[in-house]
Amino acid sequence: MQVFEKNEMVGGRASYHQDKGFTFDMGPSWYLMPDVFERFYADCGKRPQDLFQLKRLDPSYRIYFEGGRMVDIHADLERNFHLFDELEPDGASKLQSYLDSAKQIYELAIRDLLYRDYRRFTDLLDPKLMSQGRKVPIFKSLESFVNQHFQSDEARKIVEYSIGFLGGSPANTPAFYHIMSHIDFNLGVWYPEGGMRKVASSLAEMAEGFGAEIRLDEEVERINVDKRWVEGITTAKDTYRANAVVVNADYAHAEMSMLKPEHRTYDQRYWEKRTLAPSAFVAYVGVDTQYKELAHHTLFLEKDWSEGFDVIFDPTKAAWPQNPSYYVNVPSRTDTTAAPKGCDTLFILVPLAPDIEDSEALRDKFYLKILRRLEKTIGEDIIGHVVTKRIFCLTDFARRYNAFKGTALGLTHTMRQTALFRPAHRSKKVENLFYTGQYCHPGIGVPMTLISSTIVADEVASRSRGL
Ligand SMILES: Cc1cc2nc3c(=O)[nH]c(=O)nc-3n(C[C@H](O)[C@H](O)[C@H](O)COP(=O)(O)OP(=O)(O)OC[C@H]3O[C@@H](n4cnc5c(N)ncnc54)[C@H](O)[C@@H]3O)c2cc1C
């Protein structure tokens, strides 16, 4: 087996950047759903802890609400119940019943919904799935589901923020995804020592252990098809023969640039009509001091965050946000190898609409705006302590990852882009061509892409048996 990667390292969105003794994970920083990692590594005959040390974070994360209130969400559930009692009457029991529901649906999803492929409409008519499916709130938005459970703005935001991991908004994401609260409150937020890049390098190590050859700096230009069969691929360097091809590159890019129109499952019109997940403004900033006001994960949430969602998801309003909610990751809080002694590694992320204007001037202005807001909230000088800075934004996603319209995350999880309605794992035009990754079911996030790979591995195996 050969793996072709256009960039200089493995990991894709989970690449890393180093400068002046600071190391930044460029993409994912939350290690969630440890059960999914365990299952994936077990399929490869390993345990995650055979390849990296895992630490449960406590606090799991910190939130600054606009106006200055700061709360920590802890690994100890009892402390979170106390917090919810402070936020609203009967807060603890409301949180308990919300988490009970999230746990029940999560377990059902893992058992019956996520690890299966959906190829045709009749797959949704499976009797077991239909009886289980009735328990799953998919026709209601997360926003209205949460509003039924909680009254206070802060409690609502705490259970809704995690929808950002799925690249959606509470209004456009089905209530099914309240499972995210079981994921963060019950299963916990973890950190692989050495950063998320350890996950990427461990996957590469396991693949090589199974005999895969990984070819870096080799971009695939064409998938060669004869009638309904892939014969191989062509890169800038050579042409290779293959019995089957699995595409992990961004789906839209692969179909539109590597295949002739008659071999594409989806055309340009299809992609234009999808609801894309956000792009992002990410600043990797190394500072020569430490900010104890910042936890490993800290969220800054605006009171009226709907404006932030509108400028991302409403194409008529797409623009750089005026008052965005944002997120700061400080791995040096947990990991002494992330930054030189006495320094902090700051990763500052603001979701942006895909496909909006991007320029150095816009980035610089936005960088100052966000850093000044951060300084104001934590009451510290940051700009004067910056030792290294890199900004990664819309056009970088498009250039580095061939991301469609610069999306960081592929397709959102709207009702019309869930399960069967996500792009297929198996080409509908070419017999031995498969797709995996965040565009496919089950979707966005490292655990989801591990599940996607498990599904596609089964597909390839069953297809090969049929040949
Ligand atoms: C800023 C950011 C923060 C995130 N935070 C989290 C988080 O905290 N937790 C979490 O679980 N998830 C997070 N995610 C989401 C998660 O990282 C992604 O969902 C997941 O990594 C996507 O994996 P993928 O394999 O589908 O795509 P990718 O990781 O992008 O892999 C696709 C690969 O294909 C390569 N490629 C593209 N075109 C070609 C070509 N023509 N030839 C050869 N190679 C090609 C790309 O270079 C890339 O390496 C985050 C993502 C981003 C961007």
- pLDDT tens, residue by residue, 394-413: 999 999 999 999 999 999 99
Proportion of the chain above pLDDT 70, given as a percent: 96
Q: Residue 349: CB within 6 Å of ligand 1?
A: yes
Cα 205 from Cα 203, distance rounded (Å): 5
Residues β-bridged to residue 332: none
Instruction: Report which protein residue has its CA nearest ligand 1's atom 5.
Output: 28
- Candidate from 3, 6, 13, 299 with most ligand 1 atoms within 8 A of CB, to mutate: 13
Q: Residue 30: CB within 6 Å of ligand 1?
A: yes
Atom in ligand 1 nearest the alpha carbon of residue 397: 53
Atom in ligand 1 nearest the alpha carbon of residue 26: 1
**Cα-to-centroid distance, 62 and ligand 1 (Å):** 25
Q: What pLDDT does 155 receive?
A: 98
Cα 459 from Cα 467, distance rounded (Å): 12
Q: Residue 308: CB within 6 Å of ligand 1?
A: no
Residue 139 — very low, low, confident or very high, per pLDDT cuts 50/70/90?
confident
Q: What pLDDT does 420 receive?
A: 86
Instruction: Report which protein residue has its CA nearest ligand 1's atom 48.
Output: 12
Instruction: Report which protein residue has its CA nearest ligand 1's atom 15.
Output: 445
Residue 130 — very low, low, confident or very high, per pLDDT cuts 50/70/90?
low
Q: Residue 14: CB within 6 Å of ligand 1?
A: yes
- The domain spans of the chain are 76-187
Q: Residue 12: CB within 6 Å of ligand 1?
A: yes
Residue 446 — very low, low, confident or very high, per pLDDT cuts 50/70/90?
very high
Q: What pLDDT does 135 receive?
A: 67
76-187 CATH fold: Guanine Nucleotide Dissociation Inhibitor; domain 1 (1.10.405)
Atom in ligand 1 nearest the alpha carbon of residue 13: 29
Q: What pLDDT does 61 receive?
A: 98
Q: What pLDDT does 226 receive?
A: 96
| Span 8-42, pLDDT tens digits | 999 999 999 999 999 999 999 999 999 999 999 99
Q: Out of 47-61, 80-94, 119-133, which region has the weakest mean confidence (pLDDT)?
A: 119-133
Instruction: Report which protein residue has its CA nearest ligand 1's atom 2.
Output: 27
Proportion of the chain above pLDDT 90, given as a percent: 87
Q: Residue 279: CB within 6 Å of ligand 1?
A: no
**Cα-to-centroid distance, 236 and ligand 1 (Å):** 22
- Residue 122 reports pLDDT greater than 70: no
Cα 57 from Cα 31, distance rounded (Å): 10
Q: Which is nearest to 229 in space by CA: 465, 459, 463, 456? A: 463
Contact in structure between 437 and 404 (CB atoms under 8 Å): no
Give the number of C-alpha atoms closer than 13 A to the C-alpha of residue 377, restricted to the C-beta side.
27
